[in-house]
Amino acid sequence: MGNHSFGDIVPEGDDGARRATVTNYFTAGSWIEGAAVHQLAGIASLPGMISVAGFPDLHPGKYGPVGMVALSQRLYPQLIGNDIGCGMSFFELSLPLRKFKVEKAAEQLRRLEQIDLGDMATRLAEHDLSPDMGPQSLGTIGGGNHFCELQAVDEVFEDEAESVADRQKLYLLVHSGSRSLGANLFGRTLGTEHLRDGLAAGSAAAVEWLAGSGECVRWASLNRRMVAERAARTLRADLSLVADIPHNLVRATASGFLHYKGAAAIGEDAVAPVAGSRATRSFLVRALAGAERSHWGISHGAGRKYDRKAMHGRVGGNRSERDALRINAWGGLAICEDRNLLIEEAAGAYKDAAKVVADLEAFGLIRPIAAMKPLVTYKNVQPQERVREKTKWERTTIRRMRHG
C-alpha cells in the first residue's frame, strides 16, 4: 500500500500531451493502494478530461477507482459502472431509543422484505417513472456492500441544541442502488459503443444514456425510501428523511460532465452520511463551501481496505468466528445468512471511517455532525430463515457485552 499526500498533479502522457489536473483530498497517513492512484492517473489521461478529485476512501475498481469525481468534456458511462444511482439515505425514526431492544428489532427486521407496500405503479409514477420499471425489486437491498442499518448517536460534534442528531432517537441508514435496472442500461451501453474515448456531448448515445441513468437515479432513491418504509413498518414506527445522497451518477453542468464514482454528490450545507462498517461507527457530516473545489464531492464511506477475495482466510475460518462477526462492541447484531458475504463484509475489510472524515475536514470539505453506532444491520436473509430463532450463544453474548 502506498502513502500519498494532497496535491495538484498535472502529468504528461508518453506523447507529451497535457493531462487533466488530479487533486488528492487525502493525507500521507491514508491507506491508499498504489493501484488506485494509478487508476486515477489513467482517468486523467482520457480524452476531454478536465480535472479529477480523489478522496480518502479511494480504492481500485473495475473500470476506474472508487472514491473519485471526474470533470470531463466527454461522457464516460464506464466510470459509473452498473449500479447507477447507488447512494445512501438517512432517516429519523419516531421510535425512541429508550424503548429499543436489539433482539426484538432484529427479529422484526428479518421480515423486512416481506412487507407489502401496496401499489408500486403509483409510487413509480410519483417519481416520473414507468409503472413497469422493476416494480418487483422496489424496496429490496441487493447484495455486496448494501445494507439497511438501525443506528443511534454515539457522539455529537455540533452544538446539540442545533444538531440534526439527537441522542434520544433512533435512525436508519439505507445503502442501495438501482438493482438490475442500472446493470441493464450499462450492459446495453457496453454492447453498442466503444467507450474508450467517451461519448461526445449532445450525441444520440450520450443523450440516451443520460436519460436512462436519470431514471435509474430516481428509481434508486425511491428504492431506498421503500426499504426504509418497510423497516419502519416492521418496527411500528414513522420515519422522516434527513438526507438522500447518491454516489454513482453523472451530472451535466455548464463546465462539463461530472462523474461521481463512489463519491457522495452534495451541495453547500447539505447533510450527508459517511458509512463505516457493521462493527464500526458511521458519521453524519455537513458540507462546507470549500467542497466546491472538489466538484461538490466527498467520500461516501470508509472505502475498502481489502478486496472480497482477500478477506477469505483473514476472518471467519470457523463457525465460532463467523458467529462473532454478527455481533459488535455495542451489542449490535448483523442479519446476514450468506457466509461468504458475512466474511467479505467484515469490519476488517474497510478503512477507518473516522480517519476518512478527519481528512475531509482537514481539507475544508466538511464539518462532522455526529458519530453513529450500528445497532442492527440487515444484509440478507435466506427465505427459509426469515424468522430464524436466535441461538443461545447470540443471546448470552449480547447480554454479556451489554452489561460489561
| Active centre residues (catalytic) | 300
d(CA 108, CA 217): 29
Look at the chain and count its residues. Answer: 404
**Can you read off the three cell numbers belonging to residue 83?**
449500479
User: Quick one: which of 160, 141, 137, 138 has its CA closest to 149?
Assistant: 141
**Can you read off the three cell numbers belonging to residue 206?**
450520450
Bridging pattern class, strands 49-59 and 21-24? parallel
User: Quick one: which of 55, 74, 76 has its CA closest to 293?
Assistant: 55
Grid look-up 427486521 returns 109
Bridging pattern class, strands 333-336 and 366-380? parallel
Grid look-up 493531462 returns 19
Establish how many alpha carbons lie within 13 A of residue 13's alpha carbon, considering only the half-sphere containing its beta carbon: 11
CB 336 within 8 A of CB 326: yes
Neighbours of 282 (CB within 10 A): 28
